[in-house]
Structure 1
Amino acid sequence: MRVGSPSRTGVALAALSAACFVSVTSENLPVALLPQLAEGFAVSEPAVGLLMTGYALVVAVSVVPLVALTVRWDRRTAALVTVAAVAVSNLLLAVAPGYAVAVLARLVAAAGHGVFWSVVAAMAARLLGPERGGRATAVVFAGNSLAFLLGLPLSSWLGATIGWRPTVLTVAAAAALSAVVIRLTVDPMPAGPVAGTRGALNRSLWPVNLATLIVVTGHFAAFTYITAIIADFAHLTGPATSALLFAHGVAGLLGLVLIGRGVDGHPRATALLVTAGLAACMIVLLVTGSGVVAGAAVVLWALPAAGIGVVLQAAVLRVATHPDLASAVYIVAFQIGIAAGAGVGGAALGHGALPVAVAVAAVCGLLATAVVNRSRAFRDRR
């Protein structure tokens, strides 16, 4: 596909970023609407939590075979089908008469989730050109960051104000609208030559997937319970917690901009900034123990955290012979890291040992730093 005019390319990238925003907001709706869904379906809150766990498991299990199945599809078509699946999923959830139908609705979106995230970064790279793949990834992944900063709080507020069913319908409408905009602004993108599974699993990618598994496990061991960390380390609760989370989100957007600008020219330096930065913030939390410094560490934590997906996805695109299949394997590593990290952090919290979760995050950051430093996937192009 040709790189179009700057204005058209910008609109196309914005459309893909908006689809990322909707995808992440939809994925995390059970978090934003936890009490409303539990009451609406007459189930416990842990049962609603299973809508998240099951989603992640379906993505991890299905992404590789589904990406292999759709590998010859036009990339725009693949994106449209998966975004449409988000719309259908939320429409089904909004009218679900009971919990079983809600589970089915979540499975619809989960089946397309991995395919969408395996193609969206590669599509952005084709729009801007291969030499700016990292920046393109940062642009579309801004939708991810905005989903946590705005999408989830807005969904929670709407759920409490107008009810959870109209809120879910709103997300369905947003997904449908983003699909229409992608169809109007992104030109057809024929699939590239198909290389077989081995092409997705060349040696250069194994360290990237290992670093992904390690750093994502560490990050989510702490991030899943960030409100508990704020309460225990920074001694903030109520509105002060919301204010600190907002500052965390703003810092994340800043980190995304900075890392997006540097990832193409200095891939190793930016990757090391992400992994070592995570470790440094966790160490500061452990050393300071409490107070203003701990609060500052929570905010600064967002700077490297925002770049995790960018530097790792850019590394995949940099060395993969078939980006879509390689991205699918990377997504599996990412999803396993999320589940493992949340499990480790939950166990620590359940035993009253939250600092252990923070220590795990610090150790994982250091281990990932060592892997990144030795991997050829993060070498400068020159």
Structure 2
Amino acid sequence: MALGALSAACFVSVTSENLPVALLPDLASGFDVSEPAVGLLVTGYAFVVAVSVVPLVAVTAHWDRRTAAVATVATITASNLLLAVAPTYGVAVAARVVSAVGHGVFWSVVAPMAARLLGPQQAGRATAVVFAGNSLAFLFGLPLTSWLGATIGWRPAVLTVAGAAALSALLIRATIDPQPAEGSTPQRGPAAVRRVVTDGTLAPVNVATLITVLGHCTAFTYITVIIAEYVHLTGPATSGLLLAHGTAGLVGLVLIGRQVDRRPQATALVVTVGLTACMLVLLVAGPSSAAVAGVAVVLWAVPAGGLSVVLQAAVLRVAPDRPDLASAVYIVAYQVGIGLGALIGGLFIGHGALPVAVAAAAACGLAATAVVRRSAAFGPVRASGCGGAR
């Protein structure tokens, strides 16, 4: 039940984070702005997280982990309540900032909390179970939000997410016992932050994270545009393809999650090579075949579904003694990737160059593949040597 509560919170967090993706045309018309401007709600969110997460994690290092999780999920509730009543685009930006401030702290504690619930020997399994909420968000959260936005309006859709966030915070409070911070003294202060930032063992993981997420989000932030242009679906019909995309993502999470501890490099390569392959198919066949493009959009979710598990597991392998701060730095790389991806994709799409955005995503997948192949952090020797240390 405790892992389920954390998974539910992940579901809500991912759904909320990607609201502008699911409601892209609705928000654009509602605030009378362009679709790339709505994409900036993703970019700005990511950059606020990237700037705030490390200092906030350092400041809250002595907090009980349950308290930190409940407080940060509560910010999701508050931000979506504000977004639901936002009269202008500027207020919508402010609402996103509120959520972003707590986002990084939540994701820096959720995997270590899960690992503590099952014990260090099952950290990978615990993370995979909790991160099922991520895939379920793409399977149900985003399609449902998109459908609600198209049928009853985007404001009620956002209010629904706010209610789900409040419920998940209560579930965490009710099902998880207090978790005092571990290793509080050595993990506090600027010196601890510097040690993690300059840790050479974490650098390849963070580089791979930045490149892979950048490529994925260059395309994914505008997945509704890709679906409209290549698959020729709009409105409520988009929700059906997003549902299939989410289903494939859940399959990817299950398959990759089962193997990530035993075959870290192989699973990482499934993610990077899979991203590259799907983008190349969209680039080559998308403009001429809606059916092929639709299949590529669905299969794209398989590597994407395992993305966070592969990368977070690598962080826990190479930094078992400082998981919160190491996760915070990883989150910076992840969020910078999201922000840059949304920004770059928006620039290309704003100039009518959707194929260039897709090509850029493929190029990032190739670059990330090279990093994974060269990095010991994803290698089988390192993985087998760290199993008992986590």
1:203 is paired with a residue whose SS is coil
Aligned residue in 2 for 1:327:
327
Deviates more, 1:96-105 or 1:175-184: 96-105
CA distance in 2, matches of 1:227, 1:98: 23
- The answer to whether residue 307 in structure 2 is matched with residue 317 in structure 1 is no
CA pair 124-92 structure 1, distance change in 2 beyond 3 A: same
In the aligned structure 2, how far is the partner of 1:300 from the partner of 1:253? 11
Deviation at 1:166, TM superposition (A): 4.0
Q: Which sections of structure 1, spanning at least 5 residues, go unmatched?
A: 1-10
Aligned to 1:124: 114
Partner of 1:59: 49
Q: Is the 8 A contact 1:132 1:264 kept in 2?
A: no
Structure 1 residue 322 displacement after superposition: 1.1
Is 1:236 paired with 2:232?
yes
> Which secondary structure state, in structure 2, belongs to the residue aligned with residue 200 of structure 1?
helix
> Match of 2:218, as an amino acid?
A
- Contact preservation (8 Å) 2:137, 2:246: no
2:367 corresponds in structure 1 to 367
Q: Which deviates more, 264-273 or 285-294?
A: 285-294
1:153 aligns with 2:180: no
Equivalences for residues 266-277 of structure 1 within 5 A: 266-277=263-274
1:30 & 1:185 partners in 2: Cα distance?
A: 31
1:236 partner letter: H
Alignment equivalent of 2:204, drawn from 207, 212, 216: 207
CA distance in 1, matches of 2:329, 2:267: 22
Matched, 1:70 2:53: no
Are 2:3 and 2:114, in contact at CA under 8 Å, matched by a contact in 1?
yes
State the match for 2:193 in structure 1: 197
Q: 1:131 to 1:369 in 2, by over 3 A?
A: farther
1:20–1:376 CA distance, 2 compared to 1 (3 A): same
Change (3 A) 1:32 1:200: same
Q: Percent identity?
A: 72
Task: Identify which range, 193-202 or 361-370, moves more after superposition.
Answer: 193-202
Deviation readout 1:319-350 (Å, 9 max, x if unpaired): 11311111111111111111222233233334
Q: Distance in 2 between matches of 1:165 and 1:293?
A: 34
Matches within 5 A, 1:1-382: 11-33=1-23, 43-45=32-34, 48-96=38-86, 100-193=90-183, 194-195=186-187, 196-201=192-197, 202-233=199-230, 235-238=231-234, 241-288=238-285, 290-291=288-289, 292-320=291-319, 321-379=321-379, 380-382=383-385
- SS of aligned partner of 1:306: helix
Query: How far apart are residue 170 of structure 1 and its match?
Result: 2.9
Write the deviation string for residues 275-308 of structure 1: whole angstroms up to 9, x where unpaired: 1221222233344454344433322221111111
* Alpha-carbon spacing, 1:169–1:246, altered in 2? closer, same or farther (3 Å): closer
Distance 1:346 1:12, change over 3 A: same
Deviation of 1:44 after TM superposition, in Å, equals 2.9
Moved more, 126-135 or 201-210: 126-135
Measure how far apart 1:107 and its partner are. 2.2
Query: By how many angstroms is 1:179 displaced?
Result: 1.2
Separation (CA, whole Å) in 1 of partners of 2:27 and 2:371: 41
TM-score by length of 2: 0.86
Residue range with higher mean Cα deviation, 194-203 or 81-90: 194-203
Cα distance in 2, alignment partners of residues 34 and 297 from structure 1: 21
Number of aligned residue pairs: 370
SS at 2:384 equivalent: coil
Name the SS for the 1:312 alignment partner.
Answer: helix
**In 2 relative to 1, CA 349–133 (structure 1 residues): closer, same or farther, beyond 3 Å?**
same
Compute the TM-score of the two structures, normalised by the length of structure 1: 0.87
Q: Is the 8 A contact 1:125 1:137 kept in 2?
A: yes
Q: What whole-Å deviation, never above 9, does each CA across 1:158-209 have from its counterpart, x for those lacking one?
A: 3455554444333222212111111111122121113312442311100000
Using the TM superposition, give the Cα deviation of residue 72 of structure 1 relative to its aligned residue in structure 2, in angstroms. Answer: 1.3
Residues 253 and 212 of structure 1, relative CA distance in 2, 3 Å threshold? same
2-structure distance, mates of 1:213, 1:268: 17
Query: Is the 1:208–1:315 contact (alpha carbons within 8 Å) kept by the matching residues of 2?
Result: yes
Alignment check: 8 A CA contact 1:279 1:363 kept: yes
Which segment is superposed worse, 363-372 or 163-172?
163-172
What is the deviation of 1:51? 3.6
Partners of 2:145 and 2:157 within 8 A in 1: yes
Unaligned runs of 5+ in 2: 386-390
